A and B are shown apart, each in its own frame.
Chain A
Amino acid sequence: MWKVKAIVKLKEGVLDVQGRAVEGAMKQLGYSDAKGVKVGKYIEFLSDEEPSQALLKEMGDRLLANPVIESVEFSLECLASASAT
């Protein structure tokens, strides 16, 4: 069993309005050193088989991210399986 983790972010050059708003709020709270705040999305799902890079890219392009404005990074975690021999 695999856990797939995806982080979706706006591409460089695309104005991140949420990130800018959060950065303003952080400064207001006194965290003046925080800059370049980006707000993205985290998606995770389980998979019986280890997904290939090609399959993950396809999932990213077709649904999980909008390739016009977003990039997606995947990481995999192998979960201990009770039925593993």
Chain B
Amino acid sequence: MKFGIVRFPGSNCDSDCFHVVESLLKENAFYLWHEEKDLRGADCVILPGGFAHGDYLRTGAMAKISPIMDSIKTFAAAGGPVLGVCNGFQVLTEAGLLPGALLGNRDGKFICDWINLRVENASTPFTSGYKKGDVIRMPIAHGEGRYYLDGKDLATLEKNGQVVFRYCAASGECTDAGNPNGSLASIAGVSNERGNVVGLMPHPERCCEAALGGEDGLGLFRSIRNYLRGAAPGARGRERVKT
């Protein structure tokens, strides 16, 4: 399975994603420079974290018009799985591939810390390896992670089941204390209507090895590998995949 990892000038979490795909999933990863127009047969496209174009104007604002984005939009429209992590999530919202916008954190500080996430939708190609309601631990590292969406659009998002992850306390309850950045409705990650494009602010690629403090991110990568290998998301329930 081929994973295309997009690099914008300023992306810096690309090699962590590459490491997870190649060394842990044992699949094929390659980099896609933002000026390329050909996705080179990628089965899945990942937009990694970082500071694409230095976050100039707005985070993700310039990246959305990079030449590669047209190919990614076509790929996504055809149902291709696309994952946006942190800055990648910001780029996807700017590009209109995901709803909403990411703003500066509520308390005005960059936060680098472990947080708890509750899985809200275990039916996407990226979350079928989890169960709805699972509480997992992932690190965040962002200054602009506050998710925002207009009231009525938010209602539609919730109704469609497009909320994929929510920040929560260790108990699984969505509390103010458990919401690190003031995101509306504690939203940490969303999908598009179809479910093939998912974005999240936390970093799953930073918690796939016990040595780094946690392995809860592996579920996300195993889910997409399962999906690409032909197992329908959620069809066989929660299945542990042996690497």
A residues neighboring B (CB under 8 Å): 10, 14-15, 17-18, 20-21, 41, 63-64, 66, 68-69
**Contact across chains for A17 and B104 when beta carbons are under 8 A apart:** yes
Q: List 7 A-B contacts (CB under 8 A).
A: A15-B103, A17-B104, A17-B107, A18-B108, A64-B57, A66-B58, A68-B148
Q: Considering the chains assembled together, what is the distance between the CA atoms of A18 and B148 in angstroms?
A: 16
**Do B94 and A17 touch (CB < 8 A)?**
no
Q: In the complex where A15-B182, A68-B149 touch, is A63 in contact with B57 (Cβ < 8 A)?
A: yes
Q: Which of B65, B100, B104 contacts A68 (CB 8 A)?
A: B100
- A10 to B144: give the CA distance in the assembly, Å: 14
Q: A63, B61: Cβ atoms under 8 Å?
A: yes
Task: List the interface of chain B (C-beta within 8 A of A).
Answer: 57-58, 61, 65, 93-94, 100-101, 103-108, 146, 148-150, 182
Contact present for B148 and A14 (CB under 8 Å) = yes
| Residues in chain A near residue B103, CB distance under 8 A | 10, 14-15, 17, 69
Q: Are A18 and B104 in contact, CB atoms less than 8 angstroms apart?
A: yes
Asked if B104 contacts A66 (CB within 8 A), the reply is: no
Main secondary structure of the interface of B (DSSP, over half): loop
* Closest-CB distance, A5 to chain B (whole angstroms): 16
CB contacts (< 8 Å) of A17 on chain B: these are 103-108
Closest to B104 in A: A17
A20 to B105 Cα, complex, angstroms:
12
Q: Give B100 Cβ to nearest chain A Cβ, in Å.
A: 7
B61 partner residues in chain A, CB cutoff 8 A: 63, 66
- Within the complex, the shortest CB–CB distance from B121 to chain A, in Å, comes to 21
| Apart from A15-B103, A17-B103, 18 more pairs, CB < 8 Å | A14-B103, A15-B146, A17-B108, A18-B108, A21-B108, A41-B57, A63-B57, A63-B65, A64-B57, A66-B58, A66-B61, A66-B101, A68-B93, A68-B101, A68-B148, A68-B149, A68-B150, A69-B101
Give the distance in Å from the alpha carbon of A14 to the alpha carbon of B150 in the complex. Answer: 9
Which chain B positions have C-beta within 8 A of A21? Answer: 108
A68 to B148 alpha-carbon distance, docked (Å): 8
The answer for the CA separation of A2 and B150 in the assembled complex, in Å, is 35
B108, A15: Cβ atoms under 8 Å?
no
* Shortest Cβ distance from B101 into A: residue: A68
How far does the Cβ of B239 sit from chain A's closest Cβ, in whole Å?
A: 37
B94 to chain A, nearest CB (A): 7
| Cα separation A10 to B146 with both chains bound (whole Å) | 14
A64 to B150, CA, bound (A): 19
**Of all chain B residues, which has the CB nearest A43?**
B57
